[in-house]
Amino acid sequence: MKLLVIGSGGREHALAWKLLQSSRVMRPITIFVAPGNAGTSLEDGLENLPITAIPELVEFARKESIAFTIVGPEAPLAGGVVDAFRAAGQKIFGPTRQAAQLETSKDFSKAFMTRHGIPTAAYATFDSPAEAHHYLDQQGAPIVIKADGLAGGKGVVVATTLAEAHAAVDAMLVENQLGNAGARVVIEEFLEGEEASFIAMADGRHVLPLATSQDHKRLKDGDQGPNTGGMGAYSPAPVITPKLHARIMREVIHAAMNGMEKEGESYTGFLYAGLMIAPDGGIKVLEFNCRMGDPETEVIMARLKSNLVTLMEHAVNGTLDKVEAEWDRRTALGVVLAAHGYPDSPRKGDVIHGLSELPSMAAPEKDFYVFHAGTALDDENREEIVTAGGRVLCVTALADGVKFAQRRAYEIADQIHFDGCQMRHDIGHWAINKHRK
């Protein structure tokens, strides 16, 4: 059996790693990762494929008789990879380009939520700077300005003053700093509370919720500094009580699935709701993503005990109602090691030390995994691994409770070094403080 995972981050390493574990108990599987990273190239059973163009991926899947393909990031989904695979009769897990608008257009997503009664912050959409400025003056600060299109994590400004808010509107609508993505903006009510990530697998008719998680978006300790793709995560998210879980399934996940079906575009793929949980327990959707989160995937996969190949087969065959996912009771916590200059201009080529001295990934009692993201084998010295992207590694540990998982993750992370390495030292702090209270 051959499988294909599209992408090159920590998310894709974690997915491929979990598929590979399934293969050890089922039957031999070769898992191609396109284009992959140093971590996926070094693991036995995984093979990197230096392809990113959609027609070439389709051709590869056809020629190699790939059983099914999983899409990691949003860019290929926005480019129509699922439509192209299906048109060629190839099995793939992800939403169509049309359905992916839930992530690729904030305006579409907000209007969709409004049409289907899914709880979300009040908002208005503008392409005229004058009207946007006028609206800001009416609403006051704090307020949130979001580019309509995909902006690689740079499209959201949480403005604490009106001056910042006006500047964000000018940057997007007048100076065109985000290009087409910022040619329209959504201006949204500022919400207070605790964020959580709720991710489900959807097959068009049925949904299978995955374990809950929480991500730390800001670069620096204490949730300070610029927004990033995510500097660390843990699973489960204690803020999501069983009662809230049931409400989120009903009011958000099923509501979105039903809404998409009513609009003639049944949703397949991972559906990720970024939620704000208010102090009074109210839930609002901050955003939908049409993929798994990164680094949420790393901690979710670390806890998944079920066979991922089996889950995926049900997902692509429309039978997710026939399976359940089983989770490790322990907490998984992942700490991201990011490159110098991340998130603005990450430096490449710094040699990463300490990886080969860590206990073997294959040890059965192993309670940690180092997932690779922006890494590459050095061009000249193939023994060396160098930084090759913004987020470089995600050190993920499993332990009883978030405090011990945090301690273990940092014990391992502290053994890895590269010039300019940035990492937060407080991943898990919300859950740990909640526990203290």
Q: Judge whether 377 and 35 are in contact, CB under 8 Å.
A: no
Alpha carbon 433 to chain centroid, angstroms: 24
Please identify which residue in 293, 343, 346, 389 interacts with ligand GLY, judged by CB under 6 A. Answer: 293
CB of 393 to ligand GLY, least distance (A): 15
Given candidates 83, 148, 296, 298, which one binds ligand GLY under the rule CB under 6 A? Answer: 296
Q: Are 172 and 147 in contact (CB under 8 A)?
A: yes
Q: 3-class DSSP state for residue 221?
A: helix
Pick the binder of ligand AMP from 84, 144, 202, 253 (CB under 6 A): 144
Minimal distance in Å, beta carbon 72 to ligand GLY?
10
CB-nearer residue toward ligand AMP: 192 or 365: 192
> x/- string (CB under 6 A) for ligand GLY, residues 202-221?
-------------x------
Both structure tokens of 78: 């926005």
Question: Is residue 244 involved in binding ligand AMP (CB under 6 A)?
Answer: no
Which is closer to ligand AMP, CB of 12 or CB of 195?
195
Residue 245 to residue 198: CA distance in whole angstroms: 9
Q: 176's torsion region: left (phi>0), alpha (psi -120 to 50) or beta?
A: left
Q: Does residue number 186 form part of the binding site for ligand AMP (CB under 6 A)?
A: no
Q: What is the DSSP string of 58-111?
A: HHHHHHTT-SEEEE-SHHHHHTTHHHHHHHTT--EES--TTTTHHHH-HHHHHH
* Cα–Cα distance, 107 to 109 (Å, whole number): 5
Is 289 among the residues that bind ligand GLY (CB under 6 A)?
Answer: yes
Question: Per-residue x/- mask for ligand AMP, residues 94 to 133, rule CB under 6 A?
Answer: ---------------------------x------------
Is there binding between residue 188 and ligand AMP (CB under 6 A)? yes
Site stretch for ligand GLY (CB under 6 A), options 133-141, 256-264, 293-301, 322-330: 293-301
Q: DSSP 3-state assignment of 324?
A: coil
Tell the residue number behind the tokens 């940092």, with chain if given. Answer: 410
Which one, of 267, 215, 219, lies nearest residue 101 by Cα? 267
Between 12 and 294, CB nearer to ligand GLY: 294
405 token code pair = 């998982």
Binder among 83, 203, 294, 350 for ligand GLY (CB under 6 A): 294
Cα→Cα distances 316→67, 85, 146, 294, Å: 10, 12, 33, 22
Number of residues that bind ligand AMP (CB under 6 A): 15
Give the tokens for residue 327: 């989770």
Smallest distance from ligand AMP to CB 174, Å: 22
As a whole number of angstroms, the longest Cα–Cα distance in the chain is 63
Stretch binding ligand AMP (CB under 6 A), from 13-21, 184-192, 354-362, 399-407: 184-192
* 49 within 8 A of 35, measured Cβ to Cβ: yes
Q: Residue 330 touches which of ligand GLY, ligand AMP, none (CB < 5 to 8 A by kind)?
A: none
Angle between helices 429-436 and 402-413 (to 10 degrees): 140
- Tokens linked to 173: 């609508």
The correct pick among 229, 259, 269, 334 for binding ligand GLY (CB under 6 A) is: 229
Smallest gap from Cβ 379 to ligand GLY, in A, equals 29
If contact means CB under 5 to 8 A according to the sort of partner, which of ligand GLY, ligand AMP, none does residue 265 touch? Answer: none
Q: Which CB, 10 or 66, lies closer to ligand GLY?
A: 10
Choice between 61 and 248, CB closer to ligand AMP: 248
Q: Tokens at residue 91, please? A: 């099995």
Among ligand AMP, ligand GLY, none, residue 311 binds (CB under 5-8 Å by kind): none
Q: CA-to-CA distance for 187 and 147, rounded, in angstroms? A: 9
194-203 and 268-277 strand pairing: antiparallel
Q: Which residues bind ligand AMP (CB under 6 A)?
A: 121, 144, 146, 156, 158, 188-191, 195, 217, 227, 274, 286-287
Q: Which residues bind ligand GLY (CB under 6 A)?
A: 215, 229-230, 289, 293-294, 296
